[in-house]
Amino acid sequence: MFLDDQNDMHNMLADKQINDPAHKQMLTDEYNERDADRRARIRELLARGELQQAQDFHDAAYLFQHGETADDYLVAHVLAIDAVIRGDSTSKWIAAATLDRYLQLTGKPQVFGTQYPFDPSVARKSDGTENTFQGRTQEPFNDQFVPDALRLDFCVPGREQQKKNVETLNAGKYPAEAMVAPGCKR
């Protein structure tokens, strides 16, 4: 399910380049339906106690992180923390990211700075088409709540790197390696 989710996410990002709005919406609706089915399946596995290994919880956290509701993000956060407790240090970043998503969706500022929300009013190329990366911000963001040392413990880059990430995104590029702290994997 995790690999299917990752493939769907990759394909959905590629589909954003499609110019036909109706076709784009159909693909998004199909993705959302498959995504909801995967989350329902994970809930069944959780209810039966069938998730056992740290990797199971890590993968499940990513599935819920692609959810649509605050509850999805909160479940993702709990799953990521469980993965960390079970020894998966690569789940530290997703634990921080899911908390930030949950906070932002509930109207509170993120605290780690993992989210770069999209502002469509700013994200236009000179020819009028949308650029996936431009128009990004970290707001709302309480950047003083978590010090950089704690961010690094969760594999989140420090504030200076995050500011550079916003600049890179708004220049139309994705700063892939810089989205996590040096020496960390997600």
DSSP codes joined into one string, 127-180:
TS-B-SSSSB---SB-TTSS-HHHHHHTTPPPHHHHHHHHHHHHTT---GGGGS
Highest-confidence range of 124-128, 156-160, 173-177, by mean pLDDT? 156-160
Place of tokens 């040096």: 182
pLDDT band per the 50, 70, 90 thresholds, residue 159: very high
Instruction: Please give the backbone phi and psi of residue 90, each rounded to the nearest 5 degrees, phi first.
Output: -70, -10
Cα–Cα distance, 42 to 88 (Å, whole number): 19
Give me the helix-helix angle, 21-47 and 2-15, nearest 10°: 160
The 10s digit of each residue's pLDDT in 8-18 is 555 555 555 55
Instruction: Please give the backbone phi and psi of residue 158, each rounded to the nearest 5 degrees, phi first.
Output: -70, 170
The 10s digit of each residue's pLDDT in 123-137 is 555 555 555 667 888
The predicted pLDDT at position 126 comes to 53
The predicted pLDDT at position 24 comes to 60
Higher-confidence residue of 132 and 80: namely: 80
Q: What is the pTM of this model?
A: 0.79
pLDDT band per the 50, 70, 90 thresholds, residue 53: very high
Q: Which of 61, 132, 53 is nearest to 94 (CA)?
A: 61
The residue extents of the domains of the chain are 109-186
What is the token pair recorded at 175? 């700063």
